[in-house]
Amino acid sequence: MTVQPTIVEVLGGLGFDFAWLDLEHAGPSPYDSRALEGLTRAGDAAGIDPLVRLPSGDPPLVHKVLDAGFRSLLVPQIEEASEVRRAVAAARFDYDGAPGNRGVGAGRATRWGEEGTGDTDRRDDEVTVGCMIETRAAVENVQSILAVPGLDFVFVGPSDLSVAYGRPMDRSHPDVTAAAERVRDAALDADVPVGWVTDDTGDATARLQEGYGLLRVGDEVSAARSVLGDRLDALRET
């Protein structure tokens, strides 16, 4: 996870499939086109797909981020299927047999109009939209959420689930693990890729074996603390 273009390039060089950009809790305003364009350029330069966690699935925000050149969006705090459908429709020109709500823009997504706006099928195919499952309501409604046409993936948010179930930051509490397993099983049954958020390599390996196909495996702050913290501790011991 990062909000820095330089780190996006570094992650691409390391071979990651995507760079998690958190515009929900950090980073520039998602309405700041100049900042967003810098992040998309970094992704293009490094051959890595920026996965953008938005603050919400509001259509004007979805339009703004797509026009800046992003193609993979993650919508947080979803609780029911209608919210997912609204966000997915906002990302599509054609949606579920009817016109979508993306609208026509001439931003970086079309090289400022150079590529034209007519090839809507191709542009729809390039976009993926997922959502976070991180509340009690989302867990209860997970099957209807997964049935929304055009939902490409879901991510389990174990830390937020722990708060929702009254066990703040206790990701291993039985109530939290049961909720996560319910989401995972439902996603696998629906053939929707499911992701997990972790900073631990052992946990990530276990999740792959459990069927999770997408992993967010850390962020630049925790990585700095881990690597540089260990180095500093070693120097203090000399």
Residues tagged active-site: 25
Which single residue is written with the structure tokens 């939902």? 151
What's the per-residue H, E or C state across the chain? CECCHHHHHHHHHHCCCEEEEECCCCCCCCCCHHHHHHHHHHHHHHCCEEEEECCCCCHHHHHHHHHCCCCEEEECCCCCHHHHHHHHHHCCCEECCEECCCCCCCCHHHCCCCCCCCCHHHHHHHCEEEEEECCHHHHHCHHHHHCCCCCCEEEECHHHHHHHCCCCCCCCCHHHHHHHHHHHHHHHHCCCCEEEECCCHHHHHHHHHCCCCEEECCCHHHHHHHHHHHHHHHHHHC
Taking a C-beta distance cutoff of 8 angstroms, is the pair 182, 142 a contact? yes
